[in-house]
Structure 1
Amino acid sequence: MRIIFKFFSQPIIICSLIIYFFSILTGAILSKEVDFSFYNGDFSFSPLHYFQHNLVSCIILISGIAVFSLSTLWSLFLNGVMLGATFVGVAIEKSIQEAIASIFFHGIFEIPAIILSGAIGLYPIYLIYLLLRNKKEIDYKNQIKSIGIMLALIVVFLIIASIMEAKVSPLVINYFFK
């Protein structure tokens, strides 16, 4: 358990989490300006559809590793804003319970995958931080190992999230709110 906590308490992951959290809050605040009457609780897609959709989002987040984290910062922010705005919009349009139910079951896996993808995309900034802070050689082998672990976790989380979003969330929404 301590190894898991140590891994997830890496500064790069915490930084990604903070950016994502504040962008969710921004989206929640901005949600009053968006019309959510289109929301119908439709979860009629296959797990493969959700997996592909979320994988593309994660790849976009990770791609920031090639462009000095700029696309990661933007994508992480937009993803959080959309989540915050959608959550509040559904809560206003339907109910807070339905908003929680429509996100919770797959979100507990999808959100960590997004945060880990953001952490990978923020690596260029993190490496500069390490160089300036330590003023010594960076253990690149350890950094690559961390990225590999994060990539594996992202795939596992996305597989679980896609199954939950396609199979569990619709059952919960239909059972309690239809």
Structure 2
Amino acid sequence: MAEPGKDTRYRVVLGVGVGALVLDQLTKLWVMASLPYYGAVTVIPGFFDLVNIRNRGAAFGFLNRSDIEWQFWLFFAATLVSAGVIFMLARSAQRGEKMLFWGLGMVLGGAVGNLVDRIRFRAVVDFLDFYVGQWHWPAFNVADIAICCGALLVCLSMWLKGPSGRAS
């Protein structure tokens, strides 16, 4: 078995993950420097605002409550378990499965990006607010985009392999 630093599978996952993490953290720093807490700037009237809010919960505001502390530890543990699963999937995959490795890296980078926020602020910085009229999609960030797009790539990669485990 190859060592993590010498195996291209791990290098792709880590490289993409670090890229997603850096992009996520830079965009959050920019938003926090540009907007006051709970501030908003309309980018496309009636559709898109940049905001500066905190989410103590998970994706789309799940468990976003200030009166419970255990959700921090739940999401902290979930991130560590996810990272372990990501490296197990990378280790068991064939070296040529680039789509899978990119997807795993995106999920890893997004998860770690949100974990950095949880450690720093006990909440995740969200700033992308899409809406139509009074209907708002819950605000999100670059880490959330990386997680969702990465998960889509992982699923697509597995679907393309088919039940035989070989690319169709």
TM-score, normalising length: structure 1? 0.38
TM-score, normalising length: structure 2? 0.40
